[in-house]
Structure 1
C-alpha cells in the first residue's frame, strides 16, 4: 500500500517567497492544498481544509503566526504547525514551543532545513533550527566587555540547572530580590532580550562555557 500523501497549507505575505515555497514543497512530494497571504485567511483555510501541516510566516497582516497557532490550539485543531521567520530571538522560540509548534525554521536556511523538518515532524518529532543559537553561544564569558562577577556566575550556573529565583535564594541564603537583581545584571551583560526565560534558554544552551 502506498504511503498517504501529506497535505500542507502555506502562508506568507511575500508572493515570490510563497511561490518558491509552494514549488519546493511540491517537489518534496507534499500536496499543497492552498496558500494564504495573511493570518486570518490562513486560519480560515486550516479550519476548512484540515491539512496535516501548516507552514506559516511569523509576521503576517491580520494575525501573526503565533496568534494563528494560539487560535488553532483553542479550536483543538490537530494540524502540525511550523513557524517560518527571520527572527532569532530566543523568547520567540520559547513562545512557539509553549504554543506547541512542531517546527521553527529561519527563512535564510529554509530550503536546506525544510526537508529534514518535514521528515522529523512526520515521525512525531520536532525540528527547531540550530541556526538560532549562532548569535549567542560559545563566546567565552571572560571576553565580555563587562565580565560577570563570581556571584553572577554562580547564579547563572544554578539557572542553567533549572532552579527558580526562589530556589536559588534559598540555596545561597540570600533574598529573592537579590537574585533577581543579579539576573537583571547578567541579562544586560550578555545583551539578551529582556523577555521571560531568555536567560534560562541561554544558560542551558551554553552550560559548557559557564564553568
Structure 2
C-alpha cells in the first residue's frame, strides 16, 4: 500500500532524516514542513492517510493539531514524535485519539511498524514510552481484570499483541461479531471510554499485567 504521509518537525535534521528514510521505504511523502500551522493546513488540503508530527512546533503544537483533527472529523491518523516524557502530555495524546506516540530517539527504529499499525486502525505506543513514564495503570482497571471471563481474557491478551478483531476471530474460531461483543463487555468491565482506540491502548500499556493473569 502506498500510504500517503505529511511530516512536520521544527528540527531540520529530524525532518530530513525521517523524510528520506520513509521515502526510501516506499511511502508517499506528500509534503513536509517545520511549523504547526502549515502542517494543519496541509492535512486539511491533502488529506493524507498519516500525519507524523513533532509535539513542540511553532504556531501550533502536534497535540493542538491532533485536537483540531478530532474536532473537525478529519480522518488522517496522527502519529506524534517527541522528546517529551511527561505523563500529562501522553494522556492528552490518548484523549485526542492519537494513533502513535514515539520518542524521537527511537523514531527511525519504530516509525515503520507504527505506520503499519495506524493504517490498520491499531494504535502503537512503544514499550519504551511506558518504561520512561513509569506508567502505573489505574488500580480500579487492574482490579476489574479479575471480573473478566476466560474468553474475555483470551481476547484482551490478543488485543495486547496488536491483533485485529478479524485476527482474533480466526485464531479463536469465532465470528467477528462475537469478538466485538466481547470487546464491548471488556470496555464496560474496565470502565474505559468508548473511543475506538481506548481498549487497544489500554491493552498495549498493560501487556505485562495481562500476561500474568
Shorter-chain TM-score tier: 0.5 to 0.7
Residue-pair matches, total: 151
Number of the residue aligned with 1:184: none
Q: 1:161 aligns with which of 143, 150, 164?
A: 143
Aligned mates of 1:136, 1:84 — CA distance in 2: 15
Larger Rg: 1
Q: 2:82 aligns with which of 78, 82, 85?
A: 85
Aligned mates of 1:8, 1:91 — CA distance in 2: 27
Q: Are residues 1:41 and 2:23 paired?
A: no
**1:126-165 to 2 correspondences below 5 Å:** 126-135=123-132, 137=134, 157-158=139-140, 160-161=142-143
**Runs (5+) with no aligned partner, structure 1:** 139-155, 163-202
Number of the residue aligned with 1:52: 49
Aligned mates of 1:136, 1:115 — CA distance in 2: 23
Number of the residue aligned with 1:16: 13
Distance 1:62 1:91, change over 3 A: same
Aligned mates of 1:80, 1:135 — CA distance in 2: 24
TM-score (normalised: structure 1): 0.64
**1:46 Cα shift?**
0.7
Distance 1:135 1:206, change over 3 A: farther
Number of the residue aligned with 1:165: none
Aligned mates of 2:109, 2:34 — CA distance in 1: 23
Q: Are residues 1:117 and 2:114 paired?
A: yes
RMSD: 2.8
CA contact (8 A) 1:137 1:206 kept: no
Report the 3-state secondary structure (helix = DSSP H, G, I; strand = E; otherwise coil) of the residue aligned with 2:78. strand
Distance 1:38 1:205, change over 3 A: same
TM-score (normalised: structure 2): 0.63
**1:137 Cα shift?**
4.3
Distance 1:116 1:39, change over 3 A: same
> How far does the alpha carbon of each residue in 1:113-162 deviate from its partner, in whole angstroms, 9 at most, with x for none?
11111111122211012101224549xxxxxxxxxxxxxxxxx8557437
**Runs (5+) with no aligned partner, structure 2:** 145-204
CA contact (8 A) 2:6 2:51 kept: yes
